[in-house]
Structures are given as C-alpha cells and as structure tokens.
C-alpha cells in the first residue's frame, strides 16, 4: 500500500464511505480505486487528487499533505545506476534487497537521517 492509498483509505473509513460509493462519486471504477488504495496503480494525476481533496472537503495542511503523498506514492520505485558511483549503486541495491525486512525502528532512523540530510549542506567528495 502506498502512503497516498493509505491516506485515502483512512479518510474514507473515517467518513463511513464505501469504496464503491466513492468511486461512483468520483467517476472512476471501484476496481481502479481499490488498486490505487493498495498501491497497484501508479500515483494519481493532479486532477484526480484535486477531486479527492474536494470530495473529502479537506483544506490547507491536510490538502497539501494529500498532494505531497500522491507525489511520493509510486508503487514501483526505480533508481537508475547510470549516474551513480559504483559504491552508491552497490548501496542502492543492498537497500532495495533488505528494505522489506526493515523494522519500524530502522525505518524511523532512516527517515530521521534523510530529514537531517535535507536540512544540511551537501558534503564535498574532497
């Protein structure tokens, strides 16, 4: 399940809306909505995200968060090794191999580390 799919499912459950009802109201098939929620479809386009935001009548921070989650919810993540150093490619492959087995604590640590990297200046290779 993608972060966007989980968020849509949570919003739907909080409001007591069935998948079939929401799909009908949005003009998409129930199968498509199910696949979107379960991460079996690519991230939705901007127009559908906006319709979902309007459907749930969410605003401001919650709407921005749903938009952000949609952008980050690719069911298949690909890292091209073409522009990576051999060491970076090795690490990317190791991470891809071990990622499914990572604990929530390990994921928390990785997320903290990534957040810290985004806030800091890039390091030089010198």
pLDDT band at 125 (very low <50, low <70, confident <90, very high): low
Residue 40, CA atoms < 13 Å, CB-side half-sphere: 6
Q: What is the pLDDT of residues 74-119, one digit of tens each?
A: 877 888 888 899 999 999 999 989 999 999 999 999 999 999 998 8
Q: What is the pLDDT of residues 46-56, one digit of tens each?
A: 999 999 999 99
Calculate the average pLDDT of the chain: 91
H or E stretch covering 86: helix 86-98
Question: Quick one: which of 124, 126, 103, 106 has its CA closest to 114?
Answer: 106
Q: What is the pLDDT of residues 5-41, one digit of tens each?
A: 999 999 999 999 999 999 999 999 999 999 999 989 8
Q: What is the pLDDT of residues 57-67, one digit of tens each?
A: 999 999 999 99
User: What share of the chain has pLDDT > 90, as a percent?
Assistant: 73
**Burial degree of 114 (CB within 10 A; 0-12, 13-18, 19+):** exposed
Q: What is the C-alpha separation between 1 and 105, in angstroms, rounded?
A: 19
Question: Quick one: which of 21, 49, 24, 47 has its CA closest to 36?
Answer: 49
pTM tops 0.85, yes or no: no
Which domains are seen in the chain, by residue range?
A: 3-71 (1.10.260.40), 78-126 (no CATH)
pLDDT of residue 123: 59
Structure tokens that stand for 80 in this block: 């091209």
């Amino acid at each position: 399940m993608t972060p966007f799919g989980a968020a849509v499912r949570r919003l739907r459950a909080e409001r007591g809306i069935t998948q079939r009802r929401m799909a009908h109201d949005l003009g998409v098939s129930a199968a498509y909505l199910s696949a979107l929620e379960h991460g079996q479809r690519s991230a939705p386009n901007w127009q559908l995200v906006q319709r979902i935001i309007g459907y749930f009548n969410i605003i401001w921070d919650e709407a921005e968060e749903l938009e952000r989650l949609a952008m980050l919810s690719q069911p298949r993540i690909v890292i091209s090794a073409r522009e990576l150093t051999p060491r970076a490619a090795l690490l990317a492959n190791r991470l891809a191999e071990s990622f499914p087995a990572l604990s929530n604590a390990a994921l928390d640590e990785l997320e903290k580390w990534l957040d810290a990297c985004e806030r800091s200046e890039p390091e030089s290779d010198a």
